[in-house]
Amino acid sequence: MSIIILGHSFTPSTISYSDYLDYWMENYCQVNLKYNTIQAYKNIIKNHIKPRIGMYRLSQITASTINELMTAIYVEKSFSKAFLKNILKVLKGSFGYATNVVEFINKNPALNVGLPSRDIPDSDPVHIFSKKEINMILERFKNNHCIYYAMLTAYYTGLRVSEVFGLTWDNIDFENKTLTVEKIIVKKNQKGATKKRHLSGKSTTVWYLGSCKTKSSYRTISIGDTLIKALKLYKEEQQCHKKEYGDTYMKHYKKVVINQFTNKPEIKILNAYAEIDVALPEIDFIFLKDNGIFEGTDTCKYPFKVIHYELGIPCRFHDFRDTHATRLIEAGADIKAVSERLGHSNIRTTYDIYVKVTSKMVNDTVKKFENYANDIKC
């Protein structure tokens, strides 16, 4: 049996792991995985796997080879446990496909390989914002309406960054004070993208609407008066901007296209300064620049450099989510309610990843027992 990759013929016994990874990416990953996952896998393969063991034949790689690879990556790079797990996931997945699906090899050499038995940080550093820091950030960006209201929304809801920038005005129910998460925004870098008269982008970045991370990520949550008031004000400001910019205000449309790998439909976002020639439904994103331009999650790039270097707060957009969860638990919120609010598939995720034990929680624990035992005579 021979297989064709980029016009070259290989047999399972002679194919290199590098060439096999290209085969696995095209025949499994591109068909079954989400775009962001595919990009993450490509990065891992390109930067960490191919340079080290890509030259070996697929059939020659052993558990010892993979164990040495994982140890070397950890020693040289000091990645977090979460990232090392992702590298191992790519290795196990690719060899699992070679063993169980296409049967190029008889045994999965990565099956029983674990992480290096050393002290590895669980994840990248997490920053829990204080009220002072939140006020500093909001004050700094009070004149940049798009990022200001996006950060405010993330802080008050705990939404993921792709969920925040995927929000449209019909996701906000002002009367019932709810917010619905039903989609995310996905960035794809497309080669050969053209600039027509209507199109805004100078780069090849194209935005798509994507499905939420998990089934439980689809959710409707309650939001308080503070955020309701802020979003009402922002919507009014946006209407004023539309009138101010007139025909130069950017509009956004949804176009159904067929994914070339999965052969399934997906929704592509088209940007136009005027009515487009074909009948496409318009999409009303919440977080836009004053002139209507939609930058999706790229909106965060420059502001977070400012937050880091000017305000001295090293953080990520995701830290608004971490802060939201932690402060809720500190305040005594029910863990199941917090988990559902964050869109987690189970409570364990909320405990293990997002909820951090703070000094306030430690002190409150002591006070609670003191109050319970205050009638004990010592």
Delineate the domains of the chain, giving CATH numbers in brackets. 3-100 (1.10.150.130), 161-293 (no CATH)
Amino acid code (one letter) for 176: N
Query: Are the C-beta atoms of residues 204 and 189 closer than 8 Å to each other?
Result: yes
pLDDT digits (tens, 9 = 90+) for 308-365: 999 999 899 999 999 999 899 888 888 899 999 999 988 888 877 655 555 666 667 6
pLDDT per residue as tens, the chain (378 positions): 556 655 556 677 789 999 999 999 999 999 988 888 898 999 999 999 999 999 999 999 999 999 989 888 887 777 777 888 999 999 999 999 999 999 999 999 999 998 876 655 555 568 899 999 999 999 999 999 999 999 999 999 999 999 999 999 999 999 999 999 999 999 887 653 433 333 444 446 899 999 998 899 999 999 999 999 999 999 999 999 999 999 899 999 999 999 887 788 999 999 887 566 668 899 999 999 999 999 999 999 899 999 999 999 989 999 999 999 989 988 888 889 999 999 998 888 887 765 555 566 666 766 776 676 676 766
To the nearest 10°, report the CA torsion of 277, 280, 281, 283: -70
Q: Which two tokens stand for residue 199?
A: 């199109």
Q: Is the pTM of this model over 0.95?
A: no
Half-sphere exposure of 74 (CA within 13 A, CB side): 23
- pLDDT tens digits for 254-272? 999 998 877 889 999 998 8
